[in-house]
Amino acid sequence: MIELLIDQDPTPWFSARTGNLVGGWGGGILGIVCGTLGAACGALAPSGTGRTFVLCSMTVIASLGVCVLIAGLSALTLGQPRAVWYPLILLGALPAIVVGLGIPVIRKRYAEAELRRIDAEALRRS
72, part of any domain: yes
Distances in Å between the Cα of 12 and the Cα atoms of 5, 83, 98 are 15, 9, 29
Distance, in Å, from the CA atom of 126 to the CA atom of 117, rounded to the nearest integer, reads 14
Q: ∠ at Cα 83 (77, 85), nearest 5°?
A: 30
- What's the total number of domains in the chain? 1
5, part of any domain: no
Q: Tell me, what amino acid is at 97? A: I
Distance, in Å, from the CA atom of 120 to the CA atom of 110, rounded to the nearest integer, reads 15
109, part of any domain: yes
Displacement of CA 119 from its chain's centroid (Å): 34
Instruction: Give the DSSP H or E segment for 22.
Output: helix 16-44
> What's this model's pTM, rounded to 2 decimal places?
0.83
6, part of any domain: no
2, part of any domain: no
57, part of any domain: yes
Distance, in Å, from the CA atom of 90 to the CA atom of 28, rounded to the nearest integer, reads 12
Start-to-end C-alpha separation, the chain? 75
Show the low-confidence residues of the chain (pLDDT under 70). Answer: 1-9
Is residue 76 a contact partner of residue 11, using CB atoms and an 8 Å limit?
no
**Which residues form the domain of 120?**
16-125
Q: Tell me, what amino acid is at 92? A: G
Residue-wise pLDDT tens digits, 78-107? 989 999 999 999 999 999 999 999 999 999
114, part of any domain: yes
